């Protein structure tokens, strides 16, 4: 297996590592199917699906609707692939246009200074966290840029899938690891993103 590629097999291997290392019951079960992650109750509305969606944007555009808690990947006029998301806490969400400036599989993560000021417990991670099953960015990240500059906002996976549908992050948009892997494979660098 190519170590640089995200595959369902890699996520399943992550699940095995998490199981063997005795992770707590709050850790994500890697490789868990989307159906299990969202069950059949009210949270099931956040499952990935193809939907009718008329945005007027060209195919390939990503639209993040923070109020609805959905991300739409426009596939054709009037159709989109919809993903459930978690968004930033009130006042901590990027709005407007951006583009995918960079992509990373199993990305490392370092909290920003403002994150550490708001949540001092994050100072323990000031040196960064390497990529892997315990990293808050999950299996992949799409980095949002404006004018060639990193906005410090990301579309990324999460090891806390139960947060999908909520406003809980420091501003980034979270998807389940299964969904970010799907979106990552469909999204080239340069993709237009609109956050509304």
- Structural domain boundaries of the chain? 8-195
How much is the pLDDT for 19? 31
pLDDT single digits (tens) 3-47: 445 555 454 444 333 332 222 223 333 344 444 455 555 568 999
Catalytic residue among 64, 139, 144, 172: 172
> In the 3-class helix/strand/coil scheme, how is 147-189 assigned residue by residue?
CCEEEEEEEECCCCHHHCCCEEECCCEECCHHHHHHHHHHCCC
Catalytic residue among 154, 156, 177, 184: 156
pLDDT single digits (tens) 137-184: 999 999 999 999 999 999 999 989 999 999 987 789 999 999 999 999
The CATH number given to 8-195 is: 2.40.440.10
Q: Is 172 a catalytic residue?
A: yes
How much is the pLDDT for 40? 53
Distance CA 170, CA 111 (A): 10
Q: Is 156 a catalytic residue?
A: yes
How much is the pLDDT for 187? 97
pLDDT single digits (tens) 50-101: 999 999 999 999 999 999 999 999 999 999 999 999 998 866 678 999 999 9
Displacement of CA 3 from its chain's centroid (Å): 20
Q: Which DSSP symbol is given to 58?
A: P
């Amino acid at each position: 297996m190519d170590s640089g590629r995200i595959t369902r097999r890699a996520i399943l291997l992550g699940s095995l590592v998490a199981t063997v290392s005795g992770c707590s019951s709050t850790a994500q079960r890697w490789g868990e199917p989307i159906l299990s992650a969202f069950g059949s109750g009210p949270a099931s509305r956040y499952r990935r699906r193809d939907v009718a969606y008329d945005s007027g944007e060209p195919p390939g555009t990503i639209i993040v609707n923070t109020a609805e808690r959905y991300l739409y990947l426009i596939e054709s006029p009037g159709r989109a692939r919809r993903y459930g998301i978690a968004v930033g806490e009130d006042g901590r969400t990027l709005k407007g246009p951006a583009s995918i400036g960079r992509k990373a599989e199993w990305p490392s993560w370092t909290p920003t200074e403002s994150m550490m000021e708001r949540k001092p417990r994050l100072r323990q991670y000031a040196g960064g966290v390497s990529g892997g099953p315990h990293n808050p960015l999950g299996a992949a990240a799409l980095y949002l840029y404006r004018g060639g500059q990193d906005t410090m906002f990301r579309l990324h996976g999460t090891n806390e899938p139960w947060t999908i549908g909520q406003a809980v992050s420091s501003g980034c948009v979270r998807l389940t690891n299964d969904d970010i892997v799907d979106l990552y494979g469909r999204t080239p660098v340069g993709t237009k993103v609109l956050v509304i």
